[in-house]
Amino acid sequence: MAIEENRAIEKSRAIEDGVRTVEEGVRTDFRAEMDYGGYLALDTLLSAQRPISDHHDEPLFIIQHQTTELWLKLSLHELRAVRAHLDADDVPRARKGLARVKHVFRTLTEQWSVLATLTPSEYAEFRGVLGHSSGFQSFQYRAVEFILGNKDERLLQVFRGRPVAQELLAELLDSPTVYDAFLRHLARAGHAVPQHVLDRDVRRAWVEDPALVPVHRAIYEDTAAHWPQYATCEDLVDLEDAVQLWRFRHLRTVQRTIGFATGTGGSSGVDFLKRALDLTFFPELYTVRSGIGA
């Protein structure tokens, strides 16, 4: 009882006349040590929004895309780690990373709802100041696509004026994908992954290989014997679904904002985004579903 009474007294002291007071012991002097703003570099972060127009809605447009880039940075960080964990046959840690990236893309998908509050009339008032800048030029998005298997060497020329970005993409172009790492893990675990798959040119975009479908079918038809690999297959499907939903929400947001107009970067806009929905990272993991239980 005495403990409960003391807590009640402390609570009453913390709120006086409807105003919450600072609890005793809370640090308030950060002149000589790092504070929250310093740790997060908020002076730099919050000064990075530099509208070109004086339109009220341009900060929304900037912040939407800047936060997307931060999430993409985390996704690439995690996917590199996933690949390394699979190379080390550390499936639990690889699965944790895949789950995190899946939730990042779910967050990014919901984030489109904020930009969707921008009406066509509002966007038209400042769209002209964007010039030819476009999300097509996001090197981090390209990096995520590359490490997941959608590679295209021609895209490196888009970043000729940004050597650091071009170097990053060149490195990922020459490196195995997350799927390559998973298939090599399967081979080391005794699954009959064809040698030509293991020896493939990793610079090429992944295309469906029918010879892999029986490998995945064997896993799906005996989940008890292959549970870690089976669960990882489903994690990969979860991730692809999350990315596809993000792509679709992007398309719908663009369509409601500019209709079927040409994109600022010169693309066909909505039609260009529709074609992206046909891209798949792990096609065999979808094909195998048609034969399960047949």
The answer to whether 64 is a known ligand-binding residue is yes
HEC assignment per residue over 76-106: HHHHHHHHHHHHCCCHHHHHHHHHHHHHHHH
pTM attached to this predicted model: 0.90
The dihedral built from the CA positions of residue 244, 246, 248 and 251, taken in this order, carries a sign that is: negative
Give the type of residue at 252.
R
DSSP state letter for 20: E
Six token digits for residue 150: 């959608």
Query: Would you list the DSSP string of 141-183?
Result: HHHHHHHHT---GGGGGGGTT-HHHHHHHHHHHTS--HHHHHH
More confident residue, 29 or 228: 228
Q: Model confidence at 269, in pLDDT bands (50, 70, 90)?
A: confident
In this predicted structure, what is the pLDDT of residue 26? Answer: 87
* pLDDT of residue 22 exceeding 60: yes
Question: What's the structural domain count of the chain?
Answer: 1
Q: Which amino acid is at 145?
A: E
pLDDT band at 230 (very low <50, low <70, confident <90, very high): very high
65 carries a ligand binding annotation: yes
Q: Is residue 294 part of a domain?
A: no
Kindly provide the b/e burial profile for residues 55-91, where b requires at least 16 CB atoms within 10 angstroms of the residue's own CB.
bebbebbeebeeebeebbeebbebbbbbbebbbeeeb
Does 179 count as an annotated binding residue? Answer: no
Q: CATH number of the domain that 210 lies in? A: 1.20.58.480
pLDDT attached to residue 14: 55
pLDDT in tens, 149-165: 999 999 999 999 999 99
The verdict on residue 254 lying in a domain is yes
* Residue-wise pLDDT tens digits, 34-81: 999 999 999 999 999 999 999 999 999 999 999 999 999 999 999 999
**8 lies in a domain?**
no
Q: Which DSSP letter does residue 293 get? A: T
Three-state SS for 21?
Answer: coil
pLDDT averaged over every residue in the chain: 92
Q: Check: CB of residue 14 under 8 Å from CB of residue 21.
A: yes
With residues binned 3-state (H G I as helix, E B as strand, rest as coil), the percentages for the chain, rounded to 5, are 65, 0, 35
Does 61 appear as a known binding residue?
Answer: yes
276: in domain: yes
> What is the number of other CB atoms lying within 10 angstroms of the CB of residue 244?
17
Q: What's the pLDDT tens digit per position in 171-204?
A: 999 999 999 999 999 999 999 999 999 999 999 9
Q: Which residues contact 107 (CB under 8 A, 6 or more apart)?
A: 71
Mean pLDDT throughout 239-261?
93
Q: Residue 163 domain-assigned?
A: yes
Q: Is residue 105 part of a domain?
A: yes
Q: HSE on the CB side for 217, CA within 13 Å?
A: 13
**DSSP 8-class letter at 250:** H
Residue-range definition of the domain harbouring residue 150: 57-258+268-289
Round to whole Å and give the CA distance between 5 and 169.
62
What would the two tokens of residue 9 be?
């007294």
> Is 123 labelled a binding residue?
yes
Tokens of 154: 């021609």
- Answer yes or no: is 82 within a domain: yes
Residue 49 CA, chain-centre distance (Å), reads 22
